[in-house]
Chains A and B, each alone.
Chain A
C-alpha cells in the first residue's frame, strides 16, 4: 500500500526534477528578463488578484446563503455553482464568448435597428439584430471586454469563484449559527448579525477562499485562450506564455515560465497550509 501511494509522490517529484534539470539558472533568468514575459507576469499578478478579490466578494454572501438557509431552488443553485468546475475549460471559454457576442433572445423587439442593417440581415451578411452584451459594453459603457484584459479576469473569475464558494460554504458550516440567533435577539437584523457576528468569524475562511481562488486563476488557460486570446503585451498571462513559447519552439522559456508558476503555486500552498494549521489549532 505504501509502495502504491509513493508512486504518485515520486511522479510529482520526477516532474519537478525533470523541469529543473531541463533548464539552467542563466537560461531561467534570461527568459524572465524578456519584456513580453515580464508583461505577462505583471498581468498575471493583476488579473489573478482581481479575480480572487471578486471571487471572495461574491462567494462570501453566496456561501452564507447556501450554508444557512433552506429555500426553493437551493439544490439547483448548489449544483450550478459546481458547473464551472466540471465544465471542460475550452467549453467555458466558448460559452463566455457566445454570451458576449450572441444577441439576447427577443431583445430585437426592444432595440431599434437601422433599416440598412435589417437589409444586411436579410441578405445573410449580418447576425440577427438584437441587444449584444459586448457591443453595449464597448459602445455605451466604454469598457470593452472580449480580447482585452477584463476578459482574462472574467475567465479566471468564472472558475475561481466556484472554488471560493465551496470554501466559504464549508467555513460557514463550521461556524455556530446560534451566535447569529443570539445577536438577533440582542437587536440585530439578519444582515447585521451576518456582518457583526458571522463575518468576523469567517475571516480566515475568506483568506483561504481568496488564496484558493488566486491559485486557481493562476492555472487557468483554456477559457482565457478562447475568450481573451493570446495577444502579447495585451492579454498574455503566464499560462498563455507557456503555450506561446512552446508554439514557437522556445522550450527553454516555456520551462522557465513553468518553473516560475510552480514557485508561485508552492508559495500559495504554503500560505494555505499555514492558515489550515492555524485554523485547526
Chain B
C-alpha cells in the first residue's frame, strides 16, 4: 500500500501543495496529468529521491517520509530506464541483491526467476547497449522487481516504444502485477494505456481558480 497524506514538495520556483492519494496493496494505479504538472516529482518523492517539505508518505502503513531511498526498498523505473551501461543485463538485474549482500546462490535463483518471468533469459550475458527498446524496458523492470517486494514506480516506461511492442509491454506489466502482487504506480499520458492497465486512476490537475495542483480519483 502506498499512501501520501497532504505532501508538499518544493522544487525551485515550482511547488506542489498538500497532495493526497492512496493505492491499495497489489493495485495497478495510473497517474495522469498534463506535461510539467509534477507527476515525476511526486514519483521521486515517494521513492525518496526528493524531499517533501510537509506531509507524510506511508508504505504498507509505515511512515517512510524521512527514510532514504535505499531504506524504502521500492522499485523505480525512470522514463529513460537508466540501465547501468558498464554492466551486463545479468549484473543489472542482480544489482540490488549484490548491494544488499544476498548469498550468491540466492542471487542466481532470483535472477533466473525474474529473467523467466520477463522472458529475457537469452539476454542475460548481453551488454545493455545492445538491447532494443522493448528488451531494455523488460530488463529495467526486472532490475526494479529484484529490489522490491512492495511497489514499483514507473515513469512513462513504455511511451517510447512502437505500438505493437507497447501493447505487448502493457500485457506484460499487467501480468506481472497480477502474478507478483506488487503494487504498481505508473505515469502515462496515453488514455489507451491507462484503460488497459488501471485498477485506479489518479488525475493530477490544476484548479483554474486557485491555481493549486491537486489529485483526484478519475
Using CB atoms and an 8 Å cutoff, list the residues of chain A in contact with chain B. Answer: 176, 178-179, 181-189, 192, 196-197, 200-201, 203
Contacts and interface: CB of A to CB of B under 8 A. Distances in A.
B74 A185 contact: yes
Count class of interface residues, chain B: 20 to 34
Contacts of B100: 187
Contacts of A203: 86
A183 to B, nearest CB: 7
A197 B70 contact: no
A187 B84 contact: no
B78 A187 contact: no
Interface in B86-103: 86, 95-96, 99-100
B70 A178 contact: no
B184 interface: no
Contact of A186 (B85, B86, B95): B95
Contacts of A186: 70, 95-96, 99, 143-144, 146-147
B76 A181 contact: yes
B157 interface: no
Contact of A187 (B44, B77, B96): B96
B80 A176 contact: yes
Nearest to A192: B99
A179 B81 CA distance: 8
B119 to A, nearest CB: 22
B70 A185 contact: yes
17 contacts: A179-B82, A179-B84, A179-B85, A182-B143, A182-B144, A183-B84, A183-B99, A184-B48, A184-B68, A185-B49, A185-B76, A186-B99, A186-B144, A186-B147, A187-B147, A197-B84, A201-B86
In the A-B complex, the 10 residue pairs with the smallest Cβ-Cβ separation, listed nearest first, are A178-B82, A187-B99, A186-B96, A200-B86, A185-B76, A184-B69, A179-B82, A186-B147, A185-B69, A187-B70
A192 to B, nearest CB: 7
B216 to A, nearest CB: 27
A80 B78 CA distance: 36
B99 to A, nearest CB: 4
B39 interface: no
Given A179-B85, A183-B99, 13 more contacts: A179-B82, A179-B84, A181-B78, A182-B82, A184-B68, A185-B70, A185-B72, A185-B75, A185-B147, A186-B99, A187-B70, A187-B99, A200-B86
B197 interface: no
A183 B95 CA distance: 8
B4 interface: no
Nearest to A176: B82
B83 interface: yes
A42 to B, nearest CB: 36
A176 B49 CA distance: 15
B47 interface: yes
A183 B140 CA distance: 12
Contacts of B77: 182
A77 B124 CA distance: 43
Contacts of A178: 78, 80, 82
Nearest to B12: A70
A56 B66 CA distance: 35
Contacts of A188: 70, 99
Nearest to B73: A187
Nearest to A203: B86
B72 to A, nearest CB: 7
A149 to B, nearest CB: 37
Contacts of A184: 48-49, 68-70
**Most central of A182, A183, A184, A197 by chain B CB within 10 Å:** A182
A181 B85 CA distance: 14
Nearest to A180: B82
